[in-house]
Amino acid sequence: MPLFGNTFSPKKTPPRKCASLSNLHLLDRSTREIELGLEYGNPTMNLAGQNLKFENGQWVAESGSFTGDRREMQRLRKRNQQLEEENNLLRLKVDILLDMLSETTAESHLLEKELEELKHHSRKRK
């Protein structure tokens, strides 16, 4: 029994058999889609009575399924635009306030440094 030797030595695993015994990987794509049902189509959903379909990276209302009022939709778009403009204005105000804060902080640090130097010079003269 060795003191520092490796006493644990697991058995070697046997080589694996073929990854797949199925011949479906040999079929062409269209046959596989028919056999396995891989053709899903575009995703759809029903939200508040409105059918939506996902096309080209966006949710689009299916034709004839919109039951809402056009004026309501225009009002919501206008309100959304107003909120986006207000949000942009508020972001601008925050940026300006942060600039003002950093400027005031820098001035404060300079004045503190100048005050410390004046105190130091006045102590040397005494």
pLDDT of 25-49, one tens digit each?
Answer: 677 777 777 777 666 677 888 887 7
User: pTM of the entire structure?
Assistant: 0.43
pLDDT of 61-103, one tens digit each?
Answer: 776 545 567 788 889 999 999 999 999 999 999 999 999 999 9
Domain ranges of the chain: 27-64, 66-125
Q: What is the 3-state secondary structure (H, E, C) of the chain?
A: CCCCCCCCCCCCCCCCCCCCCCCHHHCCHHHHHHHHCCCCCCCEEEECCEEEEEECCEEEECCCCCCCCHHHHHHHHHHHHHHHHHHHHHHHHHHHHHHHHHHHHHHHHHHHHHHHHHHHHHHHHC
